[in-house]
Amino acid sequence: MDLATIIGFITGIGLLLWAVMSKSTLSAFADGPSVAIVVGGAIAATLISSPLGNVMGVMKVIKNCFFAKSANPSELIKDLVGYAEIARRDGILSLESVTSEIKDPFVVSGIQMAVDGTDPELIEQVMNAELDAVALRHASGKALLEAVGRYGPAFGMIGTLVGLVIMLGNMSDPDSLGPSMAVALLTTLYGSLLANVVALPLADKLGMRSTEELAMKEIVIRGVMAIQSGDNPRVVEQKLKSFLPPKLRAMIGEDAKAA
């Protein structure tokens, strides 16, 4: 579970509720038709702009923001260096017995192709093609949330305009102008909240997750290619450490000394 996402939601919603209830009542900010206009309108516009399959999978996309576990690049590099040591010591064919213990199917696929004697250029092409496919899926999910973030405020303004038209149609009743104006503005508030508390932050979190995962897969590709070419394990480690920030590089070095 991603604590940053949970804490962010709790903090944002909590501060909003505190600000509302310190000066007014929560019921003053609740209006069913306004919610229907903003949320329903944003969903309708997203359905129009995106394939149905993408929209139906939005819950899976959102789930990744809360429950996806960030991979550890240091551990991945250690594993790949370990595979390089086995290949260097016992031959690359010996890695076939190791693949059953590897949990990442992307790593298994790359090592299996290397063990099978696949041409290095073909290995790189196949793995890069999968990398591009993952990037495309991630971009699709991110674009879906960004669409909701765009349409939410727009329908908030539409709801406000609808409320103003209704209010101006009842100018003969001055006592209703204040409450009618408040209800009209609620849709703008709801649209802003939908965009800036939910949709756009989640889209940014997905973008960050995508960058992390693609970087991990790039490390795998470089590692598999180095193993296939028979590089010295120390050379493999140096190549892969170039993907890490200096702090993590130092940690790998310290762990290696400790071992």
Q: What is the mean pLDDT of each run of 10 residues along the chain (259 residues)?
A: 82 88 82 90 92 81 76 87 91 88 91 92 94 90 92 93 83 73 86 93 91 92 92 89 76 53
Q: Within the chain, what is the greatest distance between any pair of CA atoms?
A: 91
pTM of the prediction? 0.82
**Residue-level pLDDT at 158:** 92
Q: 248: buried, middle or exposed (CB in 10 Å: 19+, 13-18, 0-12)?
A: middle
Parse the chain into domains and list their residue ranges.
Answer: 41-59+123-258
Give the single-character DSSP code of 57: T
CB 26 within 8 A of CB 124: no
In whole angstroms, what is the distance from residue 197 CA to residue 219 CA?
34
SS3 30: coil
d(CA 106, CA 86): 19
